[in-house]
Amino acid sequence: MEFTASAIAGFLKGEVEGQSDIKVSTIARIEEGFEGALSFLANPKYEQYIYTTGSSVVLVSRDFKPSSQVAATLIRVDDPYLAFASLLEMVQQSKPSKKGIHSTAVIGEESEIGEDVYIGPYVCIGDGVKIGEGCYLGAHTTVGDGTTIGGGTRIYAGVNIYHDCIIGDNCTIHSGCVIGADGFGFAPQSESEFAKIPQVGNVILEDSVEIGANACIDRATIGSTIIHRGVKIDNLVQIAHNVEVGENSVMAGQTGVAGSTKIGRNCMFGGQVGITGHVTVADGTKVGAQAGIAGNIKRPDTVLLGSPAIDYKDFMKSFAIFRQLPRIRADVDSLTRAGKKADNQ
């Protein structure tokens, strides 16, 4: 599909600077641009490429002031990154969507399948399942008995959703995810044996949740593990039993959350963050990569780094000292030798 710069500007409520009738049919990174492609400039670190890019059209902020001539046609918008995301969404929605039930799919008794769904090859749907209108279930996906999946939800190939889980509207679950496996619950019986505690709860994903590939969200021991509306979870994240994640929080890859932890709204976690069990994390908390949270975070909008995690300002001060430890050690050794030499004289 081809779009003119003026058509794109109209969709984005932007302003064209250059050839309004120039056409683009694909997208490219600004540093790898070529004729017929559209790019965007959001990070000032990439400004150098706007003067050399081969892209025909570039989205820029309204207040962008070039320091030299730009060959590409510019479209000025309020937020280039969000505008670019809107274009990608438009392109995605313009693609024809698959519909129908593949002949190899297996659907259990008393299951309800909404209209305009796609159920791919070798999908296995249990008994009493409800699948909403416009859902997509990729090949080899399994859905356990009694599970409910809301309308417009997209589930990619190889996802396993255990019994009695509840998936909201317009969710996205990527390949390899396991939703509703047993939580890690065992009671010690002796020094060498553990008894399994039955996990009789479920998992609830509210509307517009996205779960990355190979993430695992465990079912509750009793009650529900709840991922609230708008949460975005990256690949290889582990959410343990009875965890609750507040609305619009985001987690980068390999984050792990131990059981019964309650995470507030609008929180952000970098990659490989670890959170111990049975703690509460306040709304708006931001945690840097590889940090470890070992206790309650009570103050909203706290920014934390390190393991165990501390206020980022204190962490940066501590790190400044830590980097000097080899020199400090050398100074201490030198003073110790000088002291010993003085004692021997």
Percent of the chain past pLDDT 90, that is, above it, reads 84
* Residue 338 DSSP code: H
User: Where in the sequence of the chain do the CATH 3.40.1390.10 domains occur?
Assistant: 3-94
Q: What is the pLDDT of residues 42-99, one digit of tens each?
A: 999 999 999 999 999 999 999 999 999 999 999 999 999 999 999 988 877 777 788 9
3-94 folds as 3.40.1390
User: Exactly one of 163, 174, 241, 278 is catalytic; which is it?
Assistant: 241
Domain with CATH 2.160.10.10 in the chain: 100-315
pTM equals: 0.87
In what side-by-side order are the strands of the sheet with 244-245? 112-113, 130-131, 148-149, 166-167, 202-205, 224-227, 244-245, 262-263, 280-281
Neighbours of 64 (CB within 10 A): 17
pLDDT, one tens digit per residue, over 249-264 is 999 999 999 999 999 9
For residues 248 and 265, is the Cβ–Cβ distance under 8 A?
yes
Helical spans, DSSP H, in 255-324 = 312-322
pLDDT digits (tens, 9 = 90+) for 286-334: 999 999 999 999 999 999 999 999 998 999 898 888 888 888 888 888 8
Q: Does the domain spanning 100-315 belong to CATH 2.160.10.10?
A: yes
Average pLDDT over residues 262-268: 98
Confidence of residue 342 (pLDDT cuts 50, 70, 90): confident
The reported pLDDT for the residue numbered 343 is: 73
> Catalytic site residue 174?
no
- Average of pLDDT values for 228-244? 98
Contact 184, 257 (CB under 8 A): no
What's the pLDDT at 322? 84
